[in-house]
Structure 1
Amino acid sequence: MIFTTIKKWTWVACLATSPILYTSCNKMLDIKPTDQVDEEDIFQSVSTVNRAVLGVYAGWAPEYTLRIGSVMADECVIGPKNAGVNGDAQLLYRWSYTGFDPAIAAPWTNGYQVINRANRILAGLSKVPVQNDADNSAKQQLEGELLAIRAFQHFELYRIYANSYLPEGLAVPYITITDNNNKPARPSTAEFMAKLQEDLDKAMTEISEGTDNTRMNKQTVYALKARIALYTSHWSDALLFADKAIANATLATRAEFPAIWTDKSNAEVIFKLKRTNQSSMRPGDIWKNAGLGIIYFAPSPQLLQAYDTQNDVRAAAYFDHDPTLEEEGQLADIITKYKGEDGATNRNDVKVFRIAEMYLIRAEAYAQLGNLAASIDQLNTLREARIQDYKRITFPDIRTINDAIATERWKELPFEGHRFFDLKRRRQPVVRETQAGQEILSPEDIYYNIPIPQSEILSNPNIKPNNSGW
């Protein structure tokens, strides 16, 4: 079944129940001096509900999607020491996993755990007393946040496990109830999207503009709507919501950009999830085992070669070259996008939505709508913000600008969990350049579609059929 029975809510240090989820959040979750919280305690006041909602944020693990989106694609190469018991995500990288593989099951488990927790709070909100207008507004805000989180989690599950991104293709169950014995079937993409939009539309009526980019707000919901429109080819909606997500915000300057990745700047960050030294998994852990000094994955040479390393601020912000690693039998080029700091190795906040993504969505939408000039302008504006002394260029046709946008997404958003899904929504193969030639994962290959985890298949007879070939 999608989630396990929970009579009491076991919020073990910020609701983290999986060993590689997050145990930090903050002391506000210590509603009781024990590791369990009764539902009746949660619904005593708006304040206690807020603490529970913070726990939902704390249990949210987008790193799982990030890992699949990057490791499955052409953004990285596997490190020579990423092997055996000291390795990680080896089968994922080699396109040889099964439905039993933890890397395949983890996003499913975590996604539906977060959805279940959001649903349980939503189900009890009507019981929460309000003392004044401020309480009522706060209660509405919390409901809006939970609906937005529920929608986001479902869309992430859809990106990973949908059989295709076509309206008639099978999606994933959209869960809005708290019945632990529920055994849902897979809806069509069209049915799934209708429920998703219903949640987002309701969230928009209750959620505030907000200034805290670690909490769901209107700008975040607009960004999510723009991303959904991109995947569903609703190009006018993609433009509309990307415009609203950006509003009066601007791209980071070249001076500001590196500080985004050291968490010294929030420039162009629409929404992020905080990570602390108590987090049991940090985004940088995907690429490097800090304790053992093992590089799990290094940047692919083909990605590195795509940058103007002298003038593009992204190259130095995302990568480094360490010759001493070669002496250890490892790859010298390393991913530093989430390297953290001394005393906090691999720890960085997870940037879920950035303004740069909205520019790229607008560029693609304009191209698909036939507005070549506007599409070129969006792409050139982003490049001007990233590349010193950049000279605007033109493109002769829609096909050429579309290819350039795809490449720019690859260069702007690596290791943020987009590349594999970008290729999948375009029905394009993954092509890795190696010393021995090319490694190709085609859309017809069994591993191109991530399977529904085998544990779900075995426990829920209604979830079948699995994805193509599984």
Structure 2
Amino acid sequence: MKIVKFLGLSALVFSSCSKQLNITPTDQVDAHTVFSSVGSLNQGVAGVYANWREEYLIRIGSVVADECRIGLQNTGVSLTDAGQNLFRWAFTGTTSEIAEPWANGYQVINEVNLILAGIDGVPAKSAADALEKQQLKGELLAIRAFQHFDLYRVYAYSGVYDPTAYAVPYVTGTNIYEEPSRPQAGAFFTTLKQDMAAAEGLIGNSGALNRMGLTALYALEARVALYTSDWPTAIDRAGKVIAAVPLAPATNFPGIWTDNSTAEVIFKLSRTNQSGLRPGDCWYNIPYGVYLFAPSRTLMSLYDTTNDIRYHSYFATDSSLVATGQLPDIISKYAGSSGAQNLNDLKVFRTGEQYLILAEAYARSGNLAAAAADLNTLRGQRIAGYQPVSFVGAADLLAAVFAERYKELCYEGHRLYDLKRAGMNVVRQPVDWPQGAAAGKLTPSSLYYYIPIPQAEVLANPHIAPNNPGW
């Protein structure tokens, strides 16, 4: 398929942690020669997780929106792939940061499809093997659904869900010469939900937070339901997650971001010193010692700086940076530790998000009392001395939910996509504008409100048209 071919992925080899799968550019995988056991199959699936780069999507979601200020030294040609064009709303279909989510997403999908094509032929020598093989198949289907949903969030033709608008190709085969077109969103999500339903019938909770278990699948289903206005499913699945994984106590919350606690973590991507990309790399460049982005003043101003546990978990201030020509405020989420800067496991699903999904779904369903209760519960867990508040109607409550998502989920890959799915403007206050900027608003009619299909894909696949609005 051209969607992978232009990346030079027609001959794939899984990550160095697994030598089990060497795939030549054919359309079939012979499981008997690829995997000799369920154990080696497990290693191959681990390689899929290792190649998953959620950081690319997070960078676009944060930097294009209103979560950041650009660092004063994030300029020039020496700092390549540092997000300058994203922040300045000057990107194109050839910008590397625009191409990376597309390339990585379809790489992972291709790896999943190649394993699924041969998984039924992998010998299971015991009942335990058969159960593990079933679990692994469920994980692969869940990953395929997740990757396609992420690609939709970045590259969908319409920000607001429209079943007739163009989505992105949903790839389930291994034909590297295929030139897939863009399905309508309705058909796209039908296929995606089929993958999730099939996974739900196979998958269990293994207890490993770095693998997609049943609770993580429920969290994905809740997130998908939120984007497709399926409020009953959002309520049901978020409720299941909350019942299984409670919110972190305030004493444990800061440790989530230093990997000293797994409280309320549902699924995370493991990162090690061998990882090619670390979460903190989006904000701080280690070789140059440059902070690429600082937290936006607008975002920081929303917190109770004394009582909200999130403020000092997400941000830090180092006044000595001013003397080096940098901004004093730091994004400390995923800052790593001494000797391991920028290195933390990437948290993909947390219970805090599920409370906000539940609150929004209840509000949009007309159950304002339940929505307010969930929002107040989350705030009460994050803010010392918090007293529950009342809301005047659904509009007031929904505005509060979106404001809380801004505060709770910053730098986790939600902000831009939240604004777009609600048809809201991206608005930066003047204090957060880059030098030389004269305006700070993107509306749904603005070119840079949409992320283009990468130009390399457009050139390689004549069926991918149309590109997104304006591109």
TM class, shorter-length: over 0.9
Alignment pair present for 1:389 and 2:392: no
Once residues 164 and 4 of structure 2 are traced to their aligned partners in structure 1, the CA distance between those partners, rounded to angstroms, is 26
Aligned-residue offset at 1:130:
1.4
1:306-365 CA distance string (max 9 Å, x none): 000000000000000100110011100110001101111000111000000000000001
> 136, 144, 158: which is aligned to 1:142?
136
Distance in structure 1 (CA, Å) of the matches to 2:322 and 2:78: 19
Deviation string for 1:98-157 (max 9, x for gaps)? Answer: 000000000000000000000000000121111121111111111000000000000000
Q: Secondary structure at the match of 1:377?
A: helix
Counterpart of 2:231? 235
Q: Give the length in aligned residue pairs.
A: 455
Secondary structure, counterpart of 1:206 in structure 2: coil
Deviation at 1:279, TM superposition (A): 1.2
- Conserved in 2, the CA contact under 8 Å of 1:223 and 1:358? yes
CA deviation after TM superposition for structure 1 residue 39, in Å: 6.4
Distance 1:331 1:306 in 2: 19
Contact 1:242 1:358 in 2 (8 A): yes
Change (3 A) 1:224 1:12: closer
1:11 to 9, 14, 18: 14
Aligned equivalent of 1:378: 374
Distance in structure 1 (CA, Å) of the matches to 2:281 and 2:248 = 26
Q: CA deviation at 1:6?
A: 5.6
Give the secondary-structure state (helix, strand or coil) at the position aligned to 1:141.
helix
Does the aligned pair in 2 maintain the 1:220–1:353 contact within 8 Å?
yes
Query: Residue 205 of structure 1 aligns to which amino acid in structure 2?
Result: G
Q: Which runs of 4+ in 1 moved over 6 A?
A: none
Q: Deviations over 1:355-414 (max 9, x none)?
A: 000000000011001111111100110001000111111111110010000000000000
Contact residue 338 and residue 347 of structure 1 kept, 8 A: yes
Q: Equivalent residue for 2:122?
A: 128
Contact 2:157 2:468 in 1 (8 A): yes
TM superposition shift of 1:45: 1.1
Matched, 1:97 2:91: yes
Answer yes or no: is 1:151 the counterpart of 2:145.
yes
Instruction: Kindly state the Cα deviation for residue 9 of structure 1 after the two structures are TM-superposed.
Output: 3.6
| Alignment-derived partner of residue 25 in structure 1 | none
Q: Which runs of 5+ in 1 are unaligned?
A: 15-28
Match of 1:444 in 2: 445
**1:52 corresponds to which of 44, 54, 60:** 44
Gaps of 5+ in 2: 23-28
1:354 aligned to which of 343, 350, 355:
350
User: Which secondary structure does the structure 1 equivalent of 2:427 belong to?
Assistant: strand
SS where residue 3 of structure 1 aligns?
Answer: helix
1:62 to 54, 79, 83: 54
The reply to whether residue 297 of structure 1 matches residue 293 of structure 2 is: yes
Q: TM-score, normalised by structure 1?
A: 0.94
Opposite residue 14 of structure 2, the aligned amino acid is W
Moved more, 92-101 or 41-50: 41-50
Amino acid at match of 1:281: L
CA positional deviation for 1:30: 4.4
Q: How far 1:434 sits from its partner (Å)?
A: 1.5
- Could you tell me which of 421, 426, 433 is aligned with 1:430? 426
**CA contact 1:42–1:52 (8 Å) conserved in 2:** no
The C-alpha deviation readout for 1:258-282, integer Å capped at 9, x for no partner, is 0000001100000000001111210
Q: Distance in 1 between matches of 2:31 and 2:197?
A: 27
Would the aligned equivalents of 1:209 and 1:218 in 2 still touch at CA under 8 Å? yes
Q: Which residue of 2 aligns with 1:466?
A: 467
Q: Does the 8 Å CA contact 2:258/2:344 hold for their aligned counterparts?
A: yes
Q: CA deviation at 1:31?
A: 4.5
Q: What letter matches 1:13 in structure 2?
A: S
Is 1:363 aligned to residue 359 of structure 2?
A: yes
